[in-house]
Amino acid sequence: MPRRRPDHDHQPPIAEGAIEREFGVPIPGKVVAKESWTQTALKKLPDCGPLNINSLFGRHAPLVVDIGCGNGRFSLGSAWTRRDHDHLAADILPVVIRYATRRGNQRGLTNLRFCVVDGERLVTELLPAGGVKELHCYHPQPNPRPGEGHGRLIQPFFMAEVIRVLEPGGLFIVQTDNASYWNQIKQLVERFLAFQTHTGRWPDAPRGRSRREIYALKKGLPIHRGTGSPLPGLSYPQALELAAELVRGAG
């Protein structure tokens, strides 16, 4: 007899005030009364040009972006605790975005949107120049599978686009449990950012900001974390020139 596939779109109802867990760690926030549920899915992306962030959220607020958000754990927690910040989270896999939007909706979050798009397109085409306060990237794929992008995400021209989208003093936050990828990331981002290694766990989520981090901690894997702001005086055109130089040098 063939096995039935799990139905991810029809989950059992969750009671108001319920706290969900994965790997024994609570999902941030609580389920609110159904009449307070929201719609956090961004289903239509522009064919060209950046998103109108102020129109999307109906206000002007600091923007936090989560690239490759998975099931949305970090963005859910940040949006829950920082209501004065808007949050845009994206992943290339529709199934994880379905989980994320369901949880965002049930928490009544008006300052959070989820969309299905790869990180390269999100940063290169959809984010406005100088409009991002924080750009988070947790556990980017060190070896993407077919259909998950064109090689590793953090490359020279991607970092030039990071310079373009960050507001003055904005932060790029990155984390991985892959040591060889971390070495590549660190060497590269230090050409574009005043970058510092973050020692220890994140104080806001010591048990893990992302599902992958929780898993890696349980397995005892070393986790590499870092944050950085654009180097003083580095403009977007200069960043593009630097990216081209780095690509030529690697050729």
CATH of the domain at 213: 3.40.50.150
Contact 92, 5 (CB under 8 A): no
- The secondary structure element, H or E, covering residue 99 is helix 94-106
Is 114 a member of any domain? yes
**pLDDT surpasses 80 at 201:** yes
Q: pLDDT of 112-126, one tens digit each?
A: 999 999 999 999 999
- The secondary structure element, H or E, covering residue 136 is strand 132-138
Q: How far apart are CA 204 and CA 77, in angstroms?
A: 9
Mean pLDDT lowest among 14-28, 92-106, 186-200:
14-28
Angle of helix 236-250 relative to helix 156-165, nearest 10 degrees?
170
Is 80 a member of any domain? yes
Contact 67, 122 (CB under 8 A): yes
User: Containing domain of residue 184, as a range?
Assistant: 38-250
**pLDDT surpasses 50 at 2:** no
What's the total number of domains in the chain? 1
Is 183 a member of any domain? yes
Is 187 a member of any domain? yes
Q: pLDDT of 74-95, one tens digit each?
A: 999 999 999 999 999 999 999 9
**Predicted model pTM:** 0.91
Is 10 a member of any domain? no
Reported as a pLDDT band with limits 50, 70 and 90, residue 146 is low
Contact 45, 117 (CB under 8 A): yes
